[in-house]
Every structure is written in structure tokens, then in C-alpha cells.
Amino acid sequence: MGKSNGYRVEPFGSSRQMVAAASAVNHEQNTIHLMTEVDITEPRRLIADYRARTGERLSLTAYIVTCLARTLAEFPRFNSFRRGNRLIVLDDVTINVLFERQIDGETVPEAVGIQAANRKHFRQIHEALRAIQQRPSQHLGSATGMGWIRFIPSFLLRTFVRLASRSITMQKRFAVVAVTAVGMFGAGALWLVPLTSATVTVAVGSIVKRPAFIDNDLMEREYLCLTLSFNHDIIDGAPAARFTARFAELLASGDEIEHKFAPSGAKQKRPQET
């Protein structure tokens, strides 16, 4: 690192070069965005109750991934990607989850695919995400066994990203559906607008508390800010809206947590908003 004349020069590492290449390619996709809020008071209550009983903190991100996998199973066309004039529809649902990692002194996103998420229950996805979080950060691709990526010359990175986006093998491994939850820790109401090449991307924003009338009573509820982004070449606005509505319904229900973790007799009637 050199320093002179009031500034310093730092290396632009391989991790950032990969992010820059992916971002440049992502700009080429026609993307539509839907921004919404989901009442997650019930799943948050179930998570808090389970932690009070056991001391274990369940992953809200894992719950979101589980509900997304259930929604994709009902909307199979959303689990697809374009390859020229053909649409490749994948049988299994793999969901790409972005993690922030410290690699070579830089904070970079690293994508890890949760394989066959449609055939996993909440506990399995929770444990998979926790295992990934506990892996040591070594170098780009270390979390996925693709450390060789860092040896690709910078001038070939965009070509690699484009080829990978058309590869059935790569898409089955790293998914056409993505979740990023980095905005969950923001203050106030916060929505993210992701730059993405996925067919479906769920960008998780912040959680805000707001009053709402429930059965004519004013109650404090917790709302999750969400942005759902869709590849407009494959998905039109009306199907995207129906997908979002179903996903929001599953998220708000808390059923994926309740069926696995609630004690016997603990099921509560969910209030209906008026």
C-alpha cells in the first residue's frame, strides 16, 4: 500500500473484482421489483417462545427461506432460467443465500446454495445456515468448494459469470432464486432494491413496529420490509403479485415454526386484521 500527497493506494482484491463483474452482468437483466410489508408478529412470537424454553435462537432467515421454498413449489415456473429461446425449469428448489464475510480484510457477499430446499423442513434449513455461518472465512469460494474462482483473470470474470448463468449444472448448484438478509439489521423502515441476475430475489429489509387494528383493538405489530425482484423476461407483473401474496401469507402464518417447535397445546388463534 503506497501513500503520498494526502491519499493512499490500496489493492482492489479478487473478491471485490468478482462482485464488480457480477454487478456488471446483473445490469443486463430486465428486472421488476415489488415492495411490501408482512406482519411477522406470530412467527417472531414463536421464535421468542422457543428461545425462552430452550435457550436456542432460531434463524429468521431460515424461516424466510423455508416459506420461500414452499411458495416456489406451488409456482414451479418461478424456479427456472432462460437459455437462449428455451426455458429451463428445475425440479428441485435450490435457494441461494448471501452471507457477509471478511475475506482478505474486505467485507464481501458470498453466495451459498441451500440444496433441495423444497424437501427440507425448517429445522434442516436452520441447521444448514448455522453451519455455514460457523465456517471460517478463508478465501472467495471457500464456503462452496469453489476456491478456484479466485484464480480466474479479472478480464475473464464477466465472461465466466455469463457462462455460469446459462449452465444447468451451475444453476442447479447455486440456484435461480436468491435471498439476501443484510438489510434486516437496518434502523427504521428500510427496503433494499437488489442488483440481481436471479429469476426471483427476496431482499429482506428491516423489522418495524407499528400499531394496527386487530378485532377492533389497537395492537402493536411487527412488520418485515421486503422487496421481491423478478426477471421480467420470464415473469410478468400479475403472476409476480400472486407469488408475493402467497409468500406473504406463509410468512405471516408461522406454521413452519409452529408445526415443528411449538409445545403441545400451544397453538394460538391468529388475530384477523380489520
Give 189-229 pLDDT, tens digit per residue. 889 888 888 999 999 999 999 888 888 888 899 999 999 99
Written out in words, the top-level CATH class of the domain with range 11-260 is alpha beta
The domain locations on the chain are: 11-260
Q: What is the pLDDT of residue 118?
A: 94
**What confidence score (pLDDT) does residue 72 get?**
97
Residues of the chain predicted below pLDDT 50: 264-274
Q: What is the pTM of this model?
A: 0.84
Q: What integer pLDDT is reported at residue 95 of this predicted model?
A: 95
pLDDT at 261: 66
In the prediction, which pLDDT does 53 show? Answer: 93
Q: What is the per-residue DSSP string for the chain?
A: -EEETTEEE----HHHHHHHHHHHHHTTS-EEEEEEEEE-HHHHHHHHHHHHHHS----HHHHHHHHHHHHHHH-GGGSEEEETTEEEE-SS--EEEEEEEEETTEEEEEEEEETTGGG--HHHHHHHHHHHHHS---STTTTTT-GGGGGS-GGGHHHHHHHHHT-HHHHHHH-SEEEE-GGGG-SSS--------SSEEEEEEEEEEEEEEETTEEEEEEEEEEEEEEETTT--HHHHHHHHHHHHHHHHH-HHHHHHHSPTT---PPPPB-
**pLDDT at 139 (0 to 100):** 57
pLDDT for position 103: 66
